[in-house]
Amino acid sequence: MIFSIDVEDWSQSVLNRSNPVTRRVYDNTLILLDILEEHNHKATFFVLGNVARKFPQLIRSISDAGHEVASHGYAHQSIYNLTPKQVREDIDTSVGLLEDASGEKVIGFRAPNFSIREYLFEWYCEALAANGLKYDSSLFPMKVIKYGIEKEYSLKIFNKYSLNEHYLSYVKIGKYKLPFFGGGYFRLSPYAMTKMLTKNLDKRRAVFYMHPYEIDCSELEFVQKTYGKIPAKWRLTQFVGRNSVEKKLHRLMNDFEFTSFRQEYYSEDSISVPQSTLSNVDAFIKDSSPEDSDVAARILQSTT
C-alpha cells in the first residue's frame, strides 16, 4: 500500500493562504518521520513549495530517510482558481524548490484540495509533463462536490502526456463513495472500522493520505490565540479526533505494509505501471442510514 502525506501548515494552507508557514509543520513532519522509521515503512511526501522554501532542511531529512519527495504545489491554491499560466508557475516553482532541497528529481504531484476537474486536464497535464513528472494522485472517481464528479474519468489526456493517475482509495456506502483511507475519515473513525475496510483493499494499489497537522493536538489553541476564534464547523471537522491519530497510525503500520509511489511503481526493479490504479471496496456498513452517509459526505467536503 502507498502511504502519502500532504505536507502543509494548517493556518496557511487551510485558514488563510496569506498567513505565514509556521514551525508546526516542521515539528509535526519530524514526528511522522519517526513513526515511519519505527515501523520501517516508506512514504511519499507531497510537499508545498512554501514549506520547502522555509524549511529546506526538512525536505532533505525526508529524502535522506529514503522517502519520496513529491509536489503539492506552492501555496495550496486550488487549481481551478488559477489561470493556466499561474498553474504552470506554481508547479514550476514548487518542483524547483523541492528538487533543490532534496537533491532528487521530483516525479509526482497532488493538487491542493484535490482541485482537478476534467476541463482542466489539458493544461494541467501539460504543466506536469513540462516538469518531467510521471504521475498524479489527485483524483477520486466519485461524487463529492469538492473532489470530483460521478463518472469515469477519461484519462486520454494523461496518456498523451505519458502521465499515470493513482486514484485515492474509497469505500462505497449507500449512494456515496468515500475516501475513508486517511484524512478526516481516519481521524474520526474507530480504528477497527478502518482496519475492517482496509483488509478488503487491493494491497498494491491502495493509497492512504494524511497531513502532518492531523497529529497536532495543540494547534487549535495556537490558531485561536493568533488569529481569533474559528468557525465551529472547522473546529469540528478539522480538529476533532487529532488526539487519536498517532495511536491509530501505530496500529495501522503494525497491521499493514506501506511504501512510496516511487518505490512501488517507479524504481528500477518495479514492474510496469498501469496507466491508472484504483483500489476500492464496496462495503455495507450495518446500521448506516442515508443520513449517516450524508453527514459523512459533509465532513469530507470540509476536510482536505
The residues that touch Zn ion, with contacts defined as CB under 5 A, are 6, 8, 112
Q: Which residues contact 111 (CB under 8 A, 6 or more apart)?
A: 72, 73, 78, 79, 124, 136, 138
Q: Which is nearer to Zn ion, 6 or 68 (CB)?
A: 6
Enter the C-alpha cell of residue 82: 488559477
State the nearest-atom distance from the C-beta of 283 to Zn ion, in Å: 26
Enter the C-alpha cell of residue 81: 482558481
Q: Which amino acid is at 115?
A: S
Q: Which residue has the CB atom at the shortest distance from Zn ion?
A: 6
Q: Which is nearer to Zn ion, 106 or 281 (CB)?
A: 106
State the nearest-atom distance from the C-beta of 179 to Zn ion, in Å: 13
Q: Which is nearer to Zn ion, 6 or 219 (CB)?
A: 6
Q: Which is nearer to Zn ion, 5 or 252 (CB)?
A: 5
> Which residue matches cell numbers 489561470?
83
State the nearest-atom distance from the C-beta of 106 to Zn ion, in Å: 16
Exposed / middle / buried, residue 282 (Cβ in 10 Å: 0-12, 13-18, 19+)? exposed
Q: Which is nearer to Zn ion, 112 or 179 (CB)?
A: 112
Strand partners, 135: 108, 164
State the nearest-atom distance from the C-beta of 48 to Zn ion, in Å: 7
State the nearest-atom distance from the C-beta of 74 to Zn ion, in Å: 12
Continuous H helices in 131-237: 156-160, 183-188, 191-198, 219-227, 232-234
Q: Which is nearer to Zn ion, 8 or 99 (CB)?
A: 8
State the nearest-atom distance from the C-beta of 76 to Zn ion, in Å: 6
Enter the C-alpha cell of residue 118: 476534467
Q: What is the C-alpha separation between 124 and 70, in angstroms, rounded? A: 16
